Structure 1
Amino acid sequence: MFDDITPLIRDLAPDFRGRLVANEPLAPLTWFRVGGPAQVLCTPDDAADLAYLLSRLPADMPVMPIGVGSNLIVRDGGVPGIVIRLRPRGFGEVTVEGTRIHAGAVAPDKRVAEAAAAAGLGGLEFYFGIPGTIGGALVMNAGANGGETKDVLVEARAVTREGEQLTFSNAAMNFTYRASAVGRPVIFTGAVFEGVPTDPAVIRERMDAVQHHRETVQPIREKTGGSTFKNPPGHSAWKLVDAAGCRGLRLGGAQVSEMHCNFLINTGTATAADIEALGEEVRRRVKETSGVELHWEIKRVGVPLQKAMER
């Protein structure tokens, strides 16, 4: 358990309207269902509330946002400092104006694709197969089935660590493969996307194809975190993992998926340490057999249990 710093935060930000909970378990908030607690789990009411809180916090107090935890390993010792989890009521709205789709940061990617489809706007069908939120999509230039966030984004809204509310153009996001870099720590609060007028039947056909692909090649009904490793230039990560003999490999309660070997799964008893160690073993074997170094796509946060116990 971490020290309870919620009274300190309330003293620093007495007008904060959101919720603060000390030592809140994070495992139920992630798809892997593993990991320790947040020292403080914070859910602000809206962007202004978030900006106010951040403006009042000491610069050395750790702050980390999380979404729906679909691409995340929380280590077993938990996450020190403040974990920000935006709530749907303040950050989940999706609206359409002309050819533009406005979405809050916690709007599910799939719902944004559906809203665009309902308005007869194509180009966002790839979001239908991504099990995350718009905030995460902005951070990692999320993509699938030939489409990426950079292809459809007009602008993104964010709050800086100092509490300043900013808007970033597509160019200012500095998108690269599975990453963005706006040059300073921010928490994204929303985005605007541009769709292309398209026959709704064509859009639905594309979305059905995305869903069919997911259901037939990915272990979507398992406790998993999505694609584990980025595709190296000129390679498919899953093919390298398979060639290294890692399909079905187990370590503790963690396993490389038999269905798609760029997915790690919690078979029911895994710890975060099991999953991360399995991923590192896969990286080692791929490097040994192919000479290619795999890089994590899944974000790993927090401290190991042993380090937490030494506090």
Structure 2
Amino acid sequence: MEIIRAEKMGFCFGVSGAIKLCESIAKNKKDYNKAYILGMLVHNKNVVKDMEKKGFITITEEELISGKIKFQKKDLIIIRAHGTTEEIYDILKRSEIKIIDATCIFVKKIRETLIEAEKNGKEILFIGDKDHPEVKGIISFGRNVTVIANYDEFLDFKVDENKKYCLLTQTTLNKEIFFKIKKNIENNYENIEIFSKICGATYERQIAVEKLAKKVDVVLIVGDLASSNTKKLYNLSKSINEKSYLIQDKRELNKEWLQNIKNIGITAGASTPEKVILEIEKDIRGNFDDKHGL
């Protein structure tokens, strides 16, 4: 049985940069007292566990807002790759803790564009998941933001021809949703400025999984259930290849999926560590090939 990897998969540079930053900090423990990470550094439980083993303490926005966490001098906190809300930034700035911002540059750019667009009198249309930490963080800097989840919700939105709008997107938005909305705007409206910062890595991974799903018998999408981009890879693959399965690690690999197949495709979300992917591949080659005659 042949294992075929997607042409683009795994860590994006934003995730990789956040992890390298934490690893660098962990090597210099004499420079600080306690090191906190706000929320999941990236949306992968394996990465979070690894960071905690290195001594980082994971805390939530709720704990900060409630005042439950009491910072000491020489403590530091890392803002996760998804960023956070304006309220949390204000709370942290009022404390004495050292702030290290690992927010993805694409997220920062969208946030900056939102602020500038509102200064210029535009209302914000934001395409994305209103419950995702990235989206919550970005829109918190706005004063008049309408969050739209998909194409149907966009069609339901009543565009006021007397207003000017700026359309922004979640970095991991499904590209097909964006293209449909973009085409509709270009055909019908002149008062909506489109600013898309769908992450290049996300877009490349979506294209790659589409190609992969067409040429293999089974597709494994490796990533955390909390990962937005991983779920979008799964949905894209599933729409092309019914035998597409989302797993978090090798423990979730089901041998029945691999019976009587010639090849298996593997892709991974932008927050999925290479070692998790390698463990799955090793399990397929060893455990399944040797014990189950695949």
TM-score (norm 2): 0.30
Structure in which a larger fraction of residues adopt strand: 1
Considering Cα pairs closer than 8 Å and 6+ residues apart, tell me whether 1 or 2 has the greater RCO.
2
| Larger Rg belongs to | 2
Alignment TM-score, normalising by the size of structure 1: 0.28
